[in-house]
């Protein structure tokens, strides 16, 4: 399973990449692999606000559906509309193809997230 170095991770298999006061969020390689061929991504709307651990999007495959949860509190500033026409992009490269860009509400919450090392260990042990 691919795990990129400079990202934050959650136990629900989301990744987060900080960009100033904003961040990109997506799902990890493990997540896309478990889901199988992704057929649809349900995106939130720009300006929607969510709390940490709230579901803000959903990813569907033929036989399964998964909610995607916020790693931190935030407001949606951009959604990756390419995913609407080509949901398979998440299978092709789940790290390059982010799902949303948010404005982080509380930067201190980043400390509560896993590092890439933590996540790798988590994959080995739990899963």
Partner 1 sequence: MYPYIQNTPDDERKMLETIGIDSVDQLFNDIPENVRLNRELNLNPSMSEMEVERYMMDLSKRNLTINNLTCFLGAGAYDHYIPSVVRHITSRSEFYTSYTPYQAEISQGTLQYIFEYQTLICNLTGMDVANASLYDGGTAIAEAAFMSANITKRNQILVSKTVNPQYREVLKTYCHLQNLEVIEVGEEGGVTNLDELKNLLNDNTASFIVQSPNFFGIIEDLKAIEEIVHTRKKTLLITSVDPISLGILKTPGSLGADIVVGEGQPLGIPLQYGGPYLGFIAVNKAHMRKLPGRIVGQTVDVNGERAFVLTLQAREQHIRREKATSNICSNQGVNTLAAAVYLVTLGKRGLREVAIQTTQNAHYAYSEMIKSGKYKPLFNKPFFKEFAVTSNVAPDVVNRRLLDENILGGYALEKDYPQYKNGILYAVTEKRTKAEIDKLISVLEGII
Partner 2 sequence: MRKYNKLIFELSKPGRRAFKLPQSDIEEKNIEELIPEKFLNKEDLNLPELSEVDIIRHYINLSNKNYGVDTGFYPLGSCTMKYNPKINEDMANLDGFKNIHPLQPEETVQGALKLLYELDRALCEISGMDKMTLQPAAGAHGELTGLALIKAYHENRGDTKRTKIIVPDSAHGTNPASAVMAGFETIEIKSTEEGLVDIESLKAALSDEVAGLMLTNPNTLGLFERNILEIAELVHEAGGLLYYDGANANAILGKVRPGDMGFDVVHFNLHKTFSTPHGGGGPGSGPVGVKKILMDFLPAPTVEKDGDRYYLNYNIPHSVGRMKDFYGHFGIMVRAYAYILAMGRDGLKKVSEIAVLNANYLAHKLKDYYNLPENTIYKHEFVMAGLKSELSEVTTLDVAKRLLDFGYHPPTVYFPLIVHEALMTEPTESESKETLDEFAEVMIKIAEEAKSNPEILKEAPHNTPVRRLDETRAARNPILKYEG
Which positions touch partner 1 (CB under 8 A)?
39-40, 42, 60-65, 67
Residue 117: CB minimum distance to partner 2, A = 28
Pairing of the two strands 14-19 and 65-69:
unpaired
Of the pair 91, 116, the CB lying nearest partner 2 is at 91
83 close to 41: Cβ distance less than 8 angstroms: yes
Which of 6-14, 35-43, 69-77, 110-118 is the region at the interface with partner 2 (rule: CB under 8 A)?
A: 35-43
Question: Does 84 interact with partner 2 (rule: CB under 8 A)?
Answer: no
Residue 122 makes CB contacts below 8 A (sequence gap 6+) with 9, 11, 114
User: Of these partners, partner 1, partner 2, none, which one is at the site of residue 33 (CB under 5 to 8 Å by kind)?
Assistant: none
Cβ closer to partner 2: 49 or 60?
Answer: 60
């Amino acid at each position: 399973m691919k795990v990129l170095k400079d990202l934050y991770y959650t136990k629900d298999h989301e990744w987060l990449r900080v960009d100033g006061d904003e961040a990109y969020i997506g799902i990890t390689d493990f997540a896309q692999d478990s889901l199988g061929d992704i057929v649809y991504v349900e995106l939130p709307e720009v300006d929607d606000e969510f709390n940490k651990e709230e579901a803000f999007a959903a990813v569907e495959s033929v036989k399964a559906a998964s909610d995607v949860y916020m790693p931190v509190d935030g407001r949606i500033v951009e959604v990756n509309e390419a995913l609407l026409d080509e949901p398979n992009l998440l299978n092709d490269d789940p790290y390059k193809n982010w799902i949303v860009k948010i404005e982080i509400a509380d930067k201190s919450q980043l400390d509560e997230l896993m590092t890439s090392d933590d996540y790798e260990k988590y994959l080995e042990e739990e899963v």
